[in-house]
Structure 1
């Protein structure tokens, strides 16, 4: 009985296949690395951007609180930025809202005026304030009907 003798080229080709990776295996590894890199880039946020976003959310909530209080009491209320932070002018004495930023170095600029008018009228007109922290900025605005919110 004759035995099939492997040829030299077949043996080398079979050995190379067992030693290397298939294209499918390489594609799976590359796609997993891309998913991990994308997740890490989202998880590691810039602390300045995070601080600015928190301050903007806080300011929007404070402005809405003062707006509701102004409408409930029938007294005109204004929000005015200061060098140390900000202040609410016209609020009743019993209501004490914060007057400072949580993050040092933050400043605010009201578009087109020295402050925001928060009431007592239900329609207050479109207003916006831009917060600056180092080289970043974020705007909080209302169209006069809807609540103050962060705008792109």
Structure 2
């Protein structure tokens, strides 16, 4: 068997990437792109969802306190926040988490003291994303819950 010179074996080497190396690089790029898209989630919608869930819980807390004390409680939206009329001051929060949150339409809810209340709700919007809105509503028997709406 003849021995090949060293410089001839170097000339036969292939230059470029193998298919496996290209697949690995493409996979890494796909994972990085997916992570970046999840990290860049729409913050205005996430803020609105947090506000809606928080307000639904606060309305249920106000409703429970109204039933326990037998005192009528009214929730009312104000500039920059809201208030629970009929409850002691500072018992429940009165500010939005974000200054861009506002109530659209009706701005008052009657929370009790009766176990059954009239069906009612409010619509929250975020001025940074006015195309999305959340409705917090009850049918009078069930607790307040967040419902997605379209303007």
Does the TM-score normalized on the shorter chain lie above 0.5? yes
Say if 2:111 is the partner of 1:122: no
Matched, 1:98 2:98: no
The Cα of 1:77 is off from its aligned counterpart by: 1.9
Q: How does 1:29-48 map to 2 (within 5 A)?
A: 29-48=25-44
Cα displacement string for residues 113-145 of structure 1 (whole angstroms, at most 9, x for unaligned residues): 442222223333443322122124333233434
Q: Which has the higher strand share?
A: 2
- Show the counterpart of 2:76: 80
Q: How many residues align?
A: 142
Q: Which runs of 5+ in 2 are unaligned?
A: 5-9
Tell me, in whole angstroms, the C-alpha distance in 1 between the residues paired with 2:112 and 2:31.
49
Task: Tell me, in whole angstroms, the C-alpha distance in 2 between the residues paired with 1:109 and 1:144.
Answer: 21
Take 2:139 and 2:19, find their aligned partners in 1: how far apart are those partners? 55
The alpha carbon displacement at 1:99 in A equals: 2.5
State TM-score, norm by structure 2: 0.71
CA gap 1:72/1:95 in 2 versus in 1, 3 angstroms: farther
Whether contact under 8 Å (1:81, 1:109) holds in the other structure is no
**Any stretches of 5+ residues in structure 1 without a counterpart?**
6-10
TM-score of the superposed pair, with normalisation by structure 1:
0.71
Correspondent of 1:15 among 8, 13, 22:
13
Distance change >3 Å, CA 73–CA 39, structure 1 → 2: same
